[in-house]
Structure 1
Amino acid sequence: MEPRPTSRLSLLLRRLTVRLGSSRLGRRSASLLTIAVVGGFSAYGIMLGGHAETAKGIVIDVADAAGNVAGFKVKEVNISGHNHVTPAEILETAGIKSSTSILFLNADEMRARLEALPWIQSASVRKFYPDRIDIAVAERQAFALWQVNGELKVIARDGIPIAPYSDDPRYVQLPIVVGEGAQKKVGEVVDALARVPALRDQVRAAIRVAERRWTLKMRNGIDVRLPEEGLDEALVALMDLDREKKLLSRDVSIVDLRLPDRVVVRLSDAAADARAQMLKARAKAKKGGPA
């Protein structure tokens, strides 16, 4: 059910009367302004014929006009903490215009609207009578790139998409995660790889499989299938194998670490063909040898 304009009007008028009654205009001017506001709303309410949202906008505009007459027009807005979000976007989202009166600004509602912006993680709004507002925001940081449904998005550590990908230098070196659900666990895999930097530098992307486990796509084309549990242990084991046997430098296509007691390796197509030819040649030589 839409809110009735009269309830909003009553609240605004109570605030207006209290503020104006203590202002330099005095009680008589306050009463006159209040009557003007009541009359304006009554006339416009009749004309609107029940359009609550439009009426609400008119309520705010008329109330702002009355507050401005009383000396409560917003003249100064201090904004801090912004980097990706522009001051103009912050002002528009907060609902601050050149005609805004500080009397009728709801700081909690403004904060909620600002925190709904993808880049803004938290915000605070403080009103300083008669005419100043301070807005401080804390922005999310670009943490990784998330590829899903053919799109590449910049995401924060909490997985929230904050911007489409661009060739901004700040994004080029970000780790890449791929697939449905990958954004929800991005911190898990990025942190795990950070603990083995020699391996991390060889990884092109981490692919989320069935929202249960990761497969690492290495820069040389090898796929490393990781288990659902024991991610850190699997990465350490992989690094040990690479150090001891140069596993990631061999002509293989898949390294499967999902089984706890063994490592399964699949040769690349070229390597598999070469091995098949070698075995065939050995078998032929064996058949043609002395009886």
Structure 2
Amino acid sequence: MSWAEVGSRWKAKLSQMDWYLCFGLIFLFLVLIGLSMAAWKLNLILHDADALPIEAVAIKGERTHTSDAEIQAALQDLMQRSFFSADVNQVQEALEALPWVYQASVRREWPAKLRVYLVEQHVVAHWNGDAWLNQLGEVFDAPQKEDIGPLPRLAGPEGQSKLVLTTYRQVSELLKINGFDLEGLSLSPRHAWHGVLASGITLELGREDKMARIQRFINVYPTLIKQDKDVAKVDLRYDTGLAVGWVNAQKRASK
């Protein structure tokens, strides 16, 4: 076999291989275009609120202060999205921004529902007049509600809410087992404690030995009520003893 024949055979093979390669590349290119188009159309469908709308939102959890109207208003814009494009984290944030909602959890439920579980704030006290405290001593702002029963009025510097609530619980428990109701407790910027009983008696407790001073008041109260006067104020900021302000004396002083 001559070199010319060998060369022609190799040229024929290379020419055949080039055609196979071209057809293969063209086919691969067409497949990639088809997959891209399919992915693009699928993405359009998944984000089309008309094609895959959110048809319902199921709300679970005990609610006392959060209405359906408030929830609908909070989710109005987010509900315009499709089932798949709706961001459950944004839904959660929108719900937790409602004043009486403490925590919210959100999940998708096929085929077109969002399931929401709400936990409301468990309010235990007023704080600094117009705010509230929950059971953890956390401060939150929310509108006044008429259906909330009487709550203790607590006050103190910023960042001291947990301390004030804990102290209130301790002092209130000691007073309650001795027949007194603690209506309010406040901590001054100088860290002095001031209590108010449901009977209207105010207690000046100072900075230290709060529980010992409360016990001193409890011990001496039977003697105070034997007087022909009504107690207005008891100052317990002494190492021993106390000072008493009487209702009639305070009225004369105010005049």
TM range (shorter): 0.5 to 0.7
Amino acid at match of 2:201: I
Distance 1:195 1:270, change over 3 A: closer
* 2:117 counterpart residue number: 136
Alignment correspondent of 1:225: 204
Residue 104 (str. 1) matches residue 105 (str. 2): no
**Which residue of structure 2 lines up, in the alignment, with residue 277 of structure 1?**
none
**Deviation (angstroms), 1:33:** 6.3
1:134, distance to aligned residue in structure 2 (A)? 0.4
Question: 1 or 2, which has the higher helix percentage?
Answer: 1
What secondary structure does 1:143 align onto? strand
* Maintained 8 Å contact 2:92/2:104: yes
Please name the residue that 1:80 is paired with.
Answer: 60
Residue equivalent to 2:40 = 31
1:207 aligns with 2:182: no
Instruction: Give per-residue Cα distances to partners, 1:209-266, cap 9 Å, x unaligned.
Output: 22613211335543211133443333233212224x236975554322233x313304
Structure 2 residue 184 is the aligned partner of structure 1 residue 175: no
Kept in 1: contact 2:54–2:114 (CA 8 A): yes
Aligned match of 1:145: 126
C-alpha offsets along residues 53-90 of structure 1, whole Å, 9 cap, x if unaligned? xxxxxxxxx974x2542xx3211211011331123322
Tell me the distance in 2 between the aligned counterparts of 1:75 and 1:218.
Answer: 53
C-alpha contact 1:180 1:211 (8 A) present in aligned 2? no
1:15 equivalent in structure 2: none
Structure 2 Cα separation of the partners of residues 216 and 91 of structure 1: 43
- Structure 1: which amino acid aligns with 2:60? S
Offset of residue 175 of structure 1:
1.1
Are residue 156 (structure 1) and residue 134 (structure 2) matched? Answer: yes
From the superposition, tell whether residues 165 and 180 of structure 1 become closer, same or farther in structure 2 (CA, over 3 Å): farther
Aligned residue for 2:166, secondary structure, equals: helix
Of all paired residues, the percent bearing the same amino acid is 21
Q: Which residue of 1 aligns with 2:4?
A: none
Superposition RMSD in Å: 3.6
Q: For residue 196 of structure 1, give the secondary structure of its aligned residue in structure 2.
A: helix
What letter is aligned with 1:31?
A: W
The question of 1:263 aligning with 2:241 is answered: yes
Structure 1 equivalent of residue 168 of structure 2: 190
CA separation of 1:258 and 1:214: change in aligned 2, threshold 3 A: same
Aligned partners of 1:248, 1:118: CA distance in 2, in Å? 49
Match for 2:152: what amino acid?
P
Contact 1:256/1:263 (<8 A) preserved: no
Aligned length: 213
Q: CA deviation at 1:204?
A: 4.0
1:126 alignment partner in structure 2: 107
Closer, same or farther: CA 162–194 of 1 in aligned 2, 3 Å: farther
Provide the rounded CA distance (Å) in 1 between the counterparts of 2:211 and 2:72.
45
Distance 1:178 1:32 in 2: 59
Aligned residue number for residue 23 of structure 1: none
TM-superposed deviation, 1:27? 8.2
Partners of 1:254 and 1:232 lie apart in 2 by 17
Residue 90 (structure 1) aligned with residue 71 (structure 2): yes
State how far apart, in whole Å, the 1-side matches of 2:75 and 2:250 are. Answer: 63
The SS at the match of 2:206 is: coil
Find the aligned partners of 2:112 and 2:224 in 1 and give their Cα distance: 69
Residue equivalent to 1:235: 214
Other structure's SS at 2:104 match: strand
* Unaligned ranges ≥5, structure 2: 1-34
The answer to whether the 8 A contact 1:154-1:164 is kept is no
Specify the SS of the correspondent of 2:193.
strand
